[in-house]
Structures are given as C-alpha cells and as structure tokens.
Amino acid sequence: MSVLVEIEKLFENHGGELYFGELVTQAEHALQAALEAETEGSTSALITSALLHDVGHLLQGLPEDIAQQGVDAHHEVIGSKWLGKYFGADVCEPMCLHVDAKRYLCTVEPEYLATLSDASVLSLKLQGGPFNPEQVAKFESNPHFKEAVRLRRWDDRAKIVGLETPDVAHFRPYIEASLKMNSPQ
C-alpha cells in the first residue's frame, strides 16, 4: 500500500475522532493547520508537515481523554518515525519538533502561554513544561527550529469549529512533491 493510501486511510478511519480536549476532529485540526501553511505560501514540505503533524495520534488510536489520564503518548516522535520512511527532514523535523516549539514559545514569549487552549496547557505540563535556558539554546541550534515554530503557530490556530477547509485530496500534490524520491535531500 502506498503511503498516500495509508495517509488517506488513517484520516478515513480516525479523522472523525475528537482532537484531544478540543471541539474539532482530528481531521479538521490537521486540515486547518495545512490550510494555514498553504495560505502563507509555504513549501510543499511544510504544508505536508502541517497536515501530518499529529499523524502519531492517528497511528496510536488512543482515547480522546489520554491527557486527562496523565499520559503523554509522544505522538510527535511516533509520527516522525513513521513518516521518516517516506519523507525527509524537511517534513519530519518540524513535525517532530512542534511539541518542543510550544515549550520554547512559553519561555521566549511569556505571553504565549495565555493564548493556549486548556487542553494544550494540560498537555504542556505532561510534555515537560516551558524550556529552561539550556533547552532553548539546544532547540535554537536545530536547523528546523524556525519551521517548527511556524508549524506550532498553525497548530494553535487550527481549532476553529465549523471552518470550511479543502479535503485531504486537495493536499495530495504537496504530499507527492515531498516524498523522498521527489525531494532534494
């Protein structure tokens, strides 16, 4: 089965589930994040990363209240490892770093914490809380940190109930263009 079919099946099978304490579904959240990236004129890789940034949740199929149970499922790591078979660092690194980007922004922009939803504040605690200065420096040394911060901001805004977006098929050309065999490495 091609990765494109696998991605479409994941959204078909799990996209209708609520997005962990938010009032949108997994698919609505992913599509809104990808639309944000597309609207800003991002690269195919970053649009793909925005669409698939929470694919680890779809792969795991954990209950919607997993954070309330006190569990950080490390969805960003699971998703990045799975996607790494098909995509390069330009897709996988921003996606893998989007949780760290939240922790980073809470440190470098203290007002950022007040913008987070209740569900995102809860997950922040499980993910280790705001970074310390050493963690900030390490994060900023990653060549993909700026893209991860952009992705984080799209992630934060991608929780609008009833927002109309294109479907997953609309983003297929970006996904295809970002596959390892089609991307410069």
* Domain layout of the chain by residue ranges: 3-178
- What does each C-alpha distance from 137 to 34, 59, 148, 151, 177 come to in angstroms? 28, 31, 15, 19, 32
What pLDDT score does 185 carry?
Answer: 43
What pLDDT score does 25 carry?
Answer: 93
Arch. (CATH architecture) of 3-178? Orthogonal Bundle (1.10)
Q: How confident is the model at residue 81 (pLDDT cuts 50, 70, 90)?
A: very high
**89-96 and 44-52 are packed helices; what angle lies between their axes, rounded to 10 degrees?**
40
Q: Are 84 and 92 in contact (CB under 8 A)?
A: yes
Alpha helices in 69-165 (DSSP H): 75-83, 89-96, 98-108, 118-126, 133-140, 145-157
- What does each C-alpha distance from 40 to 33, 34, 164 come to in angstroms? 11, 10, 17
What pLDDT score does 69 carry?
Answer: 53
Residue-wise pLDDT tens digits, 130-140: 999 999 999 99
**75-83 and 89-96 are packed helices; what angle lies between their axes, rounded to 10 degrees?**
170
